[in-house]
Amino acid sequence: MEILQFRGDTGPYLSPKAGAASMNLLKMLREGLLGGVRAAILHASRDGRPSREQGLRVKDGKGVRKLAVEVIPIQPGEPNAGGFLVLFTAEGAHAAGGGAEADVRTEPAEDEGGDEISRLTQELVATREYLQSIVEQQETANEELQSANEEAQSANEEMQSVNEELETSKEEIQSTNEELATVNEELNNRNVELSDLNASLKLARDYAESIVASMRSPLVVLDEGLRVKTASAAFYETFRVTPAKTEGRLIYDLGNGQWNIPALRMLLEELLPKKEVIDDFEVRHTFEWIGPRIMLLNARRLVQGGGTNPLIVLAIEDLTDRRAHEDSLAARASELVRTDRSKDEFLAMLAHELRNPLAPLLNAAEILQAPGAPAEATEQAHDILARQVGNMSRMIEDLLDVSRITEGKVELRKEVVSLEAVINAAVSVAYPRIEARGQKLFVTLPTEPVFLNADATRLDQVFGNLLGNACKYSDSGCEISLCAELVPAKGENEPPQVLVRVRDNGIGIAPELLPHVFDLFVQDARASDRAYGGLGIGLTVVQRLVALHGGSVEAHSEGLGHGSEFVVRLPVLPGRTAPSPPPVASGTESLFRMLIVDDNVDAAETMALLQRLRGHQTHTAHTGPAALALAPEFLPEVVLLDIGLPGMDGYEVARKLRAMPELKGAFLVAMTGYGSDADRARSKEAGFDQHLVKPADLDVLRGWLRGRTSGSSTLPS
């Protein structure tokens, strides 16, 4: 079997692996393409399937070869591409022959004339079939062209008909335009005549209609029977109705009967006969489409030309928003008056509370300076000084907390904390005052541990304030209770909560004060005698700190003399274990070399004196450069450094001290009046180990230093 490939119209060509027999076959075919091959290709192309022709005779140098040809259509993947695979097989070839030449049987050339005639006859038949197919294709193409020509001719005739129709329509439109122009001219002339005839009544109607149309407020015109003759666009827009459901209907039947009011009916029915007017008639009603509204009605007679058939013009004004704004302004004014009065009362209380400690402070100072003062008096003076300074510190901290919370400058340092630890810390602070007043405190906590994601210091402040208020506003012998209970989650999106109730049987809260008990500067009027003290800002701080924790606080009281209860709700962390307890400092306080830096000479010297009395070695400096000059010689182990120094501030001094190799392990404490979270973060960034707000809690400082060895290169951080 020999394989040749045909591609398009280029004729046969050899495959790259063709043998000698194929080359000889190609040569014979190029001398004249066999008619049988052409016929087979034609059949395969027409039918789309393989075609086979037998008995083809090919002459070569050795004689005549009989071949069979099979044409297989090829359809490649690419569009517009294809061809035919033509297989030539020698008739009588053996399947296991020794090669291409051995497979071909060559007949003797003696019968060359007869074979030639047979071959030519066969080729003639194939050529005739080929030509016949070409003729058929040509006829088919001619028929298609004839059909297309007929369709084009038909379309041309239709286009010509459409053009004729358009021309006719154009002439008709021109004629109609001429007729319309004539009619329009006649109408104009008639309008002019009518205008001349009815100028005075028309002017009045146009005037009235223009007034109705231009009114921004709803306006409706009624006839003698109180039926709607017309209405303004504002009326339809305001009440969301249409002219079809309005005009010609009784005013009382509009909407859901909003105008069917006995008093209004009487006024409308008497308006025309008695020539009355309606001024500022107020209607409060829930209207069909617009809801509750306050409407103000005014009505007047409208006399038409000739004085017959008078009408009623009814103007409607929506006062709802104006009244709401007026009420809001009135409430705001009342609130401002109340706030201003509270502010004045607060300033008076503040002045009193700040002056109040001065007398015992001065007295205590005099006692300490008195020669020969007994030890008992000196100790009492010390207690007075500590107590009054603590009171002033708490008042200042409350004021600063209110300012920071109001301005949104408080940043909570949340961590996993135990509710029991928070409550115990608050109780430990409040209990001495409760015990001193002869009161009883009962604390009840849940049996299972409760953990919160909270700032423990701020929650101590919340519960400490509530316990302090319960103590302050309860007489001797009263009972105070703190009860915490766990409330399970109500749904997937609502976490479990803990309710902490602080209850007392003290003086209670007046009903008029209860709604404002968490407002700033609010106190009971009975507090003006200063029997209970305070600035009236503690509960404001409590409410806002609880809100920052995602909780809420409520106040309850049955009135004066019936005690009060405050309920704090806080979200709980479910399924948490107890956090690791912080390390507890142990041992005794070591002695250190201390450098105290403060531009307030009295503050620096008194702090140095206190620390020397405790056994520490101290030096003082009042400016940043002086501290930097003294530090390399003195080599302090602890530096108490003020931030607000003149010129070079404490942050820069701390950075320069940290840069000294010999002071790399020194314990730096910022002692300043700046105590916001941003101030603490800035001091940490500058190299401070701790941050104390003035007046400094020296017990905290002693706790940091306790158990540390003098001369150690490391101190608590």
**The pLDDT of residue 639 is above 90:** yes
What would the pLDDT profile of 312-368 be if each residue is shown by its tens digit? 989 999 999 998 999 899 988 888 887 777 676 666 656 656 666 776 777 788 888
Residues 599 and 510 in one domain: no
Write down the pLDDT at residue 466.
93
Residues 544 and 617 in one domain: no
Higher pLDDT: 191 or 615? It is 615
Write down the pLDDT at residue 33.
47
Residues 124 and 24 in one domain: yes
What would the pLDDT profile of 252-271 be if each residue is shown by its tens digit? 999 898 999 999 999 999 88
Residues 613 and 550 in one domain: no
Q: What percent of the chain has pLDDT over 90?
A: 27
Number of domains in the chain: 4
Residues 514 and 601 in one domain: no
Can you read off the two tokens belonging to residue 43?
């059949």
Reported as a pLDDT band with limits 50, 70 and 90, residue 596 is: very high
Residue 547 counted as domain residue = yes
Can you read off the two tokens belonging to residue 27?
């040569």
Residue 446 counted as domain residue = yes
Residue 504 counted as domain residue = yes
Residues 554 and 643 in one domain: no
> Where residue 684 sits, what CATH number does that domain have?
3.40.50.2300
Please give the helix or strand (H or E) that residue 453 lies within, else none.
strand 451-454
Residues 511 and 634 in one domain: no
How would you write 250-296 as a 3-class SS string? EHHHCCCCCCCCHHHHHHHHHHCCCCCCEEEEEEEEEECCCEEEEEE
> Where residue 83 sits, what CATH number does that domain have?
3.30.450
Residues 560 and 418 in one domain: yes
Which of 298, 318, 338 lies at the terminal end of a domain, its last residue?
Answer: 318
Residue 270: domain span: 203-318
**The pLDDT of residue 371 is above 90:** no
Mean pLDDT value of segment 595-610: 86
**The pLDDT of residue 250 is above 80:** yes
Residue 588 counted as domain residue = no
Residue 373 counted as domain residue = no
Write down the pLDDT at residue 709.
58
Residues 610 and 563 in one domain: no
**The pLDDT of residue 414 is above 50:** yes
- Token look-up 């909003």 returns 258
Which of 137, 155, 170 lies at the terminal end of a domain, its last residue?
Answer: 137
- Token look-up 């706790």 returns 703
Residues 425 and 527 in one domain: yes
Which of 318, 348, 376 lies at the terminal end of a domain, its last residue?
Answer: 318
Residue 460 counted as domain residue = yes
- Token look-up 């995602």 returns 550
Residue 143 counted as domain residue = no
How would you write 350-397 as a 3-class SS string? HHHHHHCCHHHHHHHHHHHHCCCCCHHHHHHHHHHHHHHHHHHHHHHH
Per mean pLDDT, which range of 49-58, 431-440, 617-626 is the poorest? 49-58
- Where residue 683 falls (left for φ over 0; alpha for ψ -120 to 50; beta otherwise) is alpha
Residues 687 and 656 sit within 8 Å (Cβ to Cβ): no
> Where residue 208 sits, what CATH number does that domain have?
3.30.450.20
**The pLDDT of residue 64 is above 90:** no
Residues 64 and 132 in one domain: yes
Whole-number Cα distances in Å, 304 to 195, 300, 309, 311, 316: 18, 13, 7, 8, 22
Residues 498 and 628 in one domain: no
**The pLDDT of residue 174 is above 80:** yes
Per mean pLDDT, which range of 11-20, 157-166, 464-473, 574-583 is the poorest? 574-583
What would the pLDDT profile of 536-586 be if each residue is shown by its tens digit? 677 888 898 899 899 999 999 999 989 999 999 999 987 654 444 444 444
**The pLDDT of residue 655 is above 90:** yes
Whole-structure pTM value: 0.41
**Of 403, 389, 397, 312, whose CA–CA distance to 357 is shortest?**
389
What would the pLDDT profile of 129-154 be if each residue is shown by its tens digit? 778 878 887 888 889 889 888 888 88
The amino acid at 486? L
Higher pLDDT: 491 or 549? It is 549
